[in-house]
Amino acid sequence: MFSTIHGTVGAIIGKTTGNVFLGFAGGILAHYIFDAIPHGDEKLIAISGQPTPREIKKIGLIAVLDAIMMLIILGLLAYLGKIPADWVIAFSVLGGLLPDIDNAFYLLLRQPKILKSHFDLHFKMHSLLQKYELTLVQGVILQLLIEAGLIGIIFSL
């Protein structure tokens, strides 16, 4: 899933728990659950080898645009008073993003080796429901629908 989804789910968890530690841990757990849902961006890079410079640029551009979108959405939600702008939300969002941050470090640096086991687990979650593969376009549409639903949940809390 894109970071926008993981960040929004983290914000929901933070708002509902009201606890920095539960929000952080819940964000991490929710990340894996949401990554098990087929979402079309699983094969943007060849996992088997070192990413090519072209793949790094492509993923980097997508990640920057995604992060900007997430910050705009969460910023608007905070501005509208739907989520508090506090440490609980910040750490819950960080928990939701951390597995992808870890993977980026591992893919780009192949260091530290301790991240290899996490990388393997994360990859396994992405392929848990592999028989339901989506194209990138289908995945983006699905993720937009999921994000709309998550924003609806925030407005109902």
Residue pLDDT, tens place only, 41-92? 766 666 556 777 888 888 889 899 999 999 999 999 999 999 999 999 999 9
What is the distance between the alpha carbons of residues 77 and 83, in angstroms, rounded to a whole number? 6
> Token pair 């914000």 is at which residue?
11
| Res. 153: pLDDT tops 90 | yes
Q: What mean pLDDT value characterizes the chain?
A: 89
What is the distance between the alpha carbons of residues 141 and 100, in angstroms, rounded to a whole number? 21
pLDDT tens-digit readout, 64-75: 999 999 999 999
- Of the pLDDT bands very low, low, confident and very high (cuts 50, 70, 90), residue 24 is very high
**Quick one: pLDDT at residue 59?**
84
Indicate the residue type of 101: I
How large is the greatest C-alpha to C-alpha distance in the chain, in angstroms?
45
